[in-house]
Amino acid sequence: MKSFRFIIFLLFSLLSLVCIARNEACINLHYKGNHHTHHDLPMPDDVPDVYYDSTNQSIIIDGTGCVSYYDVEITSLSSWTVYVSTQVSGYYDTIDISSLPQDDYVITIDSPLGNSYEGFFGTY
């Protein structure tokens, strides 16, 4: 029994290291136009998880599958230039952002259910 617990502990530790080794930062999303507070209502089912992968210079959108697609825009906060405007899968997709200049950005994600989310990230 002790060896089983040790194996479980070892697997958990290794999986934790894999998660830490991934160079991905979570982009916190909130309803577009609303500033995030602890009083936010629960997010709808169609909100995806979004990550900035600085190693591969990509945005990862991990959807719930509740919708078949998302419309995505990435806009510079300094010049208000829209650098990316695309449609991605509602399940899982990546966006190559290697051509973006170093800046702070807002990512806007619209679902076909009429919900709009935004989050912020920087490429430095």
* Domains located in the chain, CATH noted: 24-122 (2.60.40.3080)
pLDDT of residue 20: 44
* pTM, full prediction: 0.75
Beta-bridge partners for 88: 70
Residue pair 57/97 in contact (Cβ under 8 Å)? The answer is yes
Sheet containing 24-27: give its strands across.
24-27, 49-53, 58-62, 92-96
Identify whether the C-beta of residue 73 lies closer than 8 Å to the C-beta of residue 16. no
β-bridge pairing 82-89 and 69-76: antiparallel
| Each residue's pLDDT expressed in tens, for the chain with a length of 124 residues | 667 666 666 555 555 444 444 457 999 998 875 555 555 567 788 999 999 999 999 999 999 899 999 999 999 999 999 999 999 999 999 999 999 999 999 999 999 999 999 999 999 8
Q: Which of 94, 102, 98 is nearest to 121 (CA)?
A: 102
CA 62 to CA 64: how far, in whole Å? 7
pLDDT at 24: 72
**What is the predicted pLDDT for the residue at 18?**
45
Query: Residue 44 is encoded by which pair of tokens?
Result: 């709808």
